[in-house]
Structure 1
Protein backbone atom coordinates (compact mmCIF):
# COMPACT_ATOMS: atom_id res chain seq x y z
CA UNK A 1 0.00 0.00 0.00
CA UNK A 2 1.43 3.39 -1.04
CA UNK A 3 1.44 5.80 1.91
CA UNK A 4 3.03 8.74 0.12
CA UNK A 5 1.95 12.17 1.27
CA UNK A 6 1.46 13.22 -2.36
CA UNK A 7 1.42 11.48 -5.71
CA UNK A 8 4.88 11.98 -7.22
CA UNK A 9 3.46 13.74 -10.29
CA UNK A 10 1.85 16.42 -8.05
CA UNK A 11 4.83 17.27 -5.82
CA UNK A 12 6.11 20.15 -7.98
CA UNK A 13 2.70 21.79 -8.28
CA UNK A 14 2.04 21.54 -4.54
CA UNK A 15 5.49 22.94 -3.76
CA UNK A 16 4.83 25.86 -6.13
CA UNK A 17 1.52 26.57 -4.40
CA UNK A 18 3.15 26.59 -0.95
CA UNK A 19 5.94 28.80 -2.30
CA UNK A 20 3.36 31.35 -3.48
CA UNK A 21 1.56 31.21 -0.12
CA UNK A 22 4.83 31.49 1.82
CA UNK A 23 5.00 35.28 1.46
CA UNK A 24 3.37 37.19 4.37
CA UNK A 25 2.29 40.10 2.14
CA UNK A 26 0.39 37.69 -0.10
CA UNK A 27 -1.34 36.10 2.88
CA UNK A 28 -2.41 39.57 4.05
CA UNK A 29 -3.85 40.32 0.61
CA UNK A 30 -5.67 36.99 0.52
CA UNK A 31 -7.01 37.65 4.01
CA UNK A 32 -8.31 41.08 2.96
CA UNK A 33 -10.04 39.55 -0.05
CA UNK A 34 -11.50 36.77 2.05
CA UNK A 35 -12.86 39.27 4.60
CA UNK A 36 -14.45 41.74 2.18
CA UNK A 37 -14.79 39.91 -1.12
CA UNK A 38 -13.99 41.48 -4.46
CA UNK A 39 -11.77 44.56 -4.21
CA UNK A 40 -9.74 46.94 -6.35
CA UNK A 41 -6.00 47.40 -6.10
CA UNK A 42 -6.63 50.76 -4.41
CA UNK A 43 -8.86 49.20 -1.77
CA UNK A 44 -6.23 46.52 -1.11
CA UNK A 45 -3.51 49.18 -0.79
CA UNK A 46 -5.67 50.92 1.80
CA UNK A 47 -6.51 47.67 3.61
CA UNK A 48 -2.91 46.48 3.87
CA UNK A 49 -0.86 49.68 3.91
CA UNK A 50 1.41 48.28 1.20
CA UNK A 51 2.62 50.36 -1.75
CA UNK A 52 0.58 50.00 -4.91
CA UNK A 53 3.53 48.57 -6.83
CA UNK A 54 3.93 45.79 -4.23
CA UNK A 55 0.21 45.05 -4.17
CA UNK A 56 0.07 44.83 -7.96
CA UNK A 57 3.13 42.57 -8.09
CA UNK A 58 1.74 40.16 -5.50
CA UNK A 59 -1.75 40.16 -7.03
CA UNK A 60 -0.20 39.28 -10.37
CA UNK A 61 1.64 36.32 -8.88
CA UNK A 62 -1.45 35.11 -7.02
CA UNK A 63 -3.48 35.39 -10.23
CA UNK A 64 -0.84 33.49 -12.25
CA UNK A 65 -1.01 30.69 -9.70
CA UNK A 66 -4.81 30.49 -10.07
CA UNK A 67 -5.67 31.73 -6.58
CA UNK A 68 -7.36 34.92 -7.79
CA UNK A 69 -9.40 36.07 -10.74
CA UNK A 70 -9.44 39.62 -12.00
CA UNK A 71 -11.91 41.60 -14.00
CA UNK A 72 -11.60 45.04 -15.51
CA UNK A 73 -14.34 47.62 -15.28
CA UNK A 74 -13.32 50.89 -16.87
CA UNK A 75 -10.03 51.97 -15.31
CA UNK A 76 -10.45 49.70 -12.28
CA UNK A 77 -9.30 46.11 -11.91
CA UNK A 78 -11.17 44.00 -9.37
CA UNK A 79 -9.72 40.91 -7.69
CA UNK A 80 -11.59 37.98 -6.16
CA UNK A 81 -10.48 34.75 -4.51
CA UNK A 82 -10.73 31.79 -6.88
CA UNK A 83 -9.65 28.91 -4.65
CA UNK A 84 -12.27 27.72 -2.15
CA UNK A 85 -9.68 25.67 -0.26
CA UNK A 86 -7.64 28.70 0.89
CA UNK A 87 -9.76 29.51 3.93
CA UNK A 88 -9.73 25.92 5.17
CA UNK A 89 -6.00 25.54 4.54
CA UNK A 90 -5.14 28.72 6.44
CA UNK A 91 -7.44 27.77 9.32
CA UNK A 92 -5.85 24.31 9.60
CA UNK A 93 -2.32 25.71 9.71
CA UNK A 94 -3.30 28.48 12.11
CA UNK A 95 -5.09 26.08 14.45
CA UNK A 96 -2.09 23.74 14.44
CA UNK A 97 0.30 26.60 15.27
CA UNK A 98 -1.93 27.74 18.15
CA UNK A 99 -2.07 24.18 19.50
CA UNK A 100 1.71 23.91 19.33
CA UNK A 101 2.13 27.26 21.09
CA UNK A 102 -0.20 26.15 23.91
CA UNK A 103 1.88 23.04 24.63
Structure 2
Protein backbone atom coordinates (compact mmCIF):
# COMPACT_ATOMS: atom_id res chain seq x y z
CA UNK A 1 0.00 0.00 0.00
CA UNK A 2 1.42 3.42 -0.90
CA UNK A 3 2.61 5.67 1.87
CA UNK A 4 0.08 8.38 2.71
CA UNK A 5 1.13 11.95 3.30
CA UNK A 6 -0.88 14.44 5.32
CA UNK A 7 -2.64 17.17 3.36
CA UNK A 8 -0.73 20.39 3.40
CA UNK A 9 -2.62 23.41 4.64
CA UNK A 10 -1.54 25.54 1.66
CA UNK A 11 -4.81 27.18 0.54
CA UNK A 12 -3.73 27.27 -3.11
CA UNK A 13 -2.97 23.54 -3.10
CA UNK A 14 -6.25 22.75 -1.33
CA UNK A 15 -8.14 24.86 -3.88
CA UNK A 16 -6.51 22.90 -6.72
CA UNK A 17 -7.47 19.61 -5.06
CA UNK A 18 -11.06 20.85 -4.63
CA UNK A 19 -11.17 21.81 -8.31
CA UNK A 20 -9.94 18.33 -9.27
CA UNK A 21 -12.72 16.75 -7.21
CA UNK A 22 -15.25 19.07 -8.88
CA UNK A 23 -14.18 17.75 -12.27
CA UNK A 24 -14.83 14.20 -11.08
CA UNK A 25 -18.13 15.05 -9.39
CA UNK A 26 -20.13 14.86 -12.63
CA UNK A 27 -21.68 11.51 -13.59
CA UNK A 28 -21.31 12.18 -17.32
CA UNK A 29 -17.58 12.72 -16.91
CA UNK A 30 -17.24 9.44 -15.04
CA UNK A 31 -19.12 7.74 -17.89
CA UNK A 32 -16.63 9.21 -20.36
CA UNK A 33 -13.68 8.00 -18.29
CA UNK A 34 -15.19 4.53 -18.05
CA UNK A 35 -15.64 4.19 -21.79
CA UNK A 36 -12.08 5.46 -22.44
CA UNK A 37 -10.66 2.79 -20.15
CA UNK A 38 -10.53 0.43 -23.15
CA UNK A 39 -8.51 2.91 -25.22
CA UNK A 40 -8.71 6.10 -27.30
CA UNK A 41 -12.02 7.05 -28.93
CA UNK A 42 -13.28 9.88 -31.08
CA UNK A 43 -16.25 12.07 -30.16
CA UNK A 44 -18.75 10.02 -32.16
CA UNK A 45 -17.61 6.77 -30.52
CA UNK A 46 -17.80 8.32 -27.05
CA UNK A 47 -21.26 9.76 -27.82
CA UNK A 48 -22.49 6.35 -28.94
CA UNK A 49 -21.00 4.61 -25.88
CA UNK A 50 -22.37 7.12 -23.35
CA UNK A 51 -25.59 8.31 -24.97
CA UNK A 52 -24.55 11.93 -24.40
CA UNK A 53 -25.41 14.59 -26.96
CA UNK A 54 -22.51 16.04 -28.91
CA UNK A 55 -22.71 19.55 -27.40
CA UNK A 56 -22.90 18.19 -23.84
CA UNK A 57 -20.14 15.68 -24.55
CA UNK A 58 -17.85 18.34 -26.03
CA UNK A 59 -18.28 20.47 -22.91
CA UNK A 60 -17.30 17.57 -20.63
CA UNK A 61 -14.36 16.55 -22.85
CA UNK A 62 -13.05 20.10 -22.67
CA UNK A 63 -13.26 20.16 -18.86
CA UNK A 64 -11.53 16.77 -18.56
CA UNK A 65 -8.81 17.82 -20.99
CA UNK A 66 -8.20 21.15 -19.25
CA UNK A 67 -7.90 19.28 -15.94
CA UNK A 68 -5.17 17.10 -17.46
CA UNK A 69 -7.20 13.93 -17.05
CA UNK A 70 -7.62 13.41 -20.81
CA UNK A 71 -5.42 14.18 -23.76
CA UNK A 72 -6.67 15.04 -27.25
CA UNK A 73 -4.90 13.76 -30.37
CA UNK A 74 -6.05 15.05 -33.77
CA UNK A 75 -6.12 12.33 -36.45
CA UNK A 76 -7.34 13.38 -39.87
CA UNK A 77 -10.77 14.97 -39.56
CA UNK A 78 -11.34 13.55 -36.06
CA UNK A 79 -9.84 14.04 -32.64
CA UNK A 80 -9.22 11.09 -30.39
CA UNK A 81 -9.40 11.36 -26.63
CA UNK A 82 -7.51 9.14 -24.26
CA UNK A 83 -6.67 8.93 -20.58
CA UNK A 84 -3.64 11.11 -19.86
CA UNK A 85 -2.98 9.60 -16.43
CA UNK A 86 -4.08 5.97 -15.91
CA UNK A 87 -3.79 6.55 -12.14
CA UNK A 88 -7.29 8.06 -12.40
CA UNK A 89 -8.70 4.52 -12.54
CA UNK A 90 -7.00 3.51 -9.30
CA UNK A 91 -8.37 6.65 -7.70
CA UNK A 92 -11.90 5.97 -8.99
CA UNK A 93 -11.76 2.31 -7.93
CA UNK A 94 -10.70 3.35 -4.43
CA UNK A 95 -13.62 5.79 -4.25
CA UNK A 96 -16.07 3.20 -5.63
CA UNK A 97 -14.89 0.61 -3.11
CA UNK A 98 -15.35 3.06 -0.23
CA UNK A 99 -18.83 4.08 -1.40
CA UNK A 100 -19.79 0.43 -1.90
CA UNK A 101 -18.62 -0.45 1.62
CA UNK A 102 -20.59 2.46 3.08
CA UNK A 103 -23.75 1.49 1.20
CA UNK A 104 -23.36 -2.12 2.34
CA UNK A 105 -22.94 -1.01 5.98
CA UNK A 106 -26.02 1.21 5.71
CA UNK A 107 -28.04 -1.67 4.23
CA UNK A 108 -26.94 -3.97 7.05
CA UNK A 109 -27.84 -1.35 9.66
CA UNK A 110 -31.25 -0.85 8.08
CA UNK A 111 -31.86 -4.60 7.98
CA UNK A 112 -30.94 -4.88 11.68
CA UNK A 113 -33.40 -2.08 12.51
CA UNK A 114 -36.16 -3.82 10.54
CA UNK A 115 -35.50 -7.08 12.35
CA UNK A 116 -35.69 -5.35 15.73
CA UNK A 117 -38.86 -3.54 14.73
CA UNK A 118 -40.64 -6.80 13.83
CA UNK A 119 -39.85 -8.22 17.28
CA UNK A 120 -42.11 -5.65 18.97
Report the TM-score when normalising by structure 1.
0.90
Root-mean-square deviation (Å) = 1.3
CA deviation map 1:12-70 (0-9, x unaligned):
11101000100100010011101x21000000000000101111110011000100100
Larger relative contact order (CA 8 Å, sep ≥ 6): 1
Offset at residue 5 of structure 1 (A)? 4.2
Q: Find out whether 1:52 has 2:70 as its counterpart.
A: no
1:8 match:
9
Tell me, what secondary structure is at the counterpart of 1:72?
strand
| Residues in 2 aligned to 1:26 and 1:5: alpha-carbon distance in whole angstroms | 28
How many residues are treated as equivalent by the alignment?
Answer: 99
Which 5+ residue runs of structure 2 have no aligned equivalent? Answer: 106-120
Task: Determine the structure 1 residue equivalent to 2:80.
Answer: 78
TM-score (norm 2): 0.78
Runs of 5+ consecutive residues of structure 1 not aligned to the other structure: none
Larger Rg: 2
Task: Give the match for residue 89 of structure 1.
Answer: 91
SS at match of 2:68: coil
Aligned to 2:33: 30
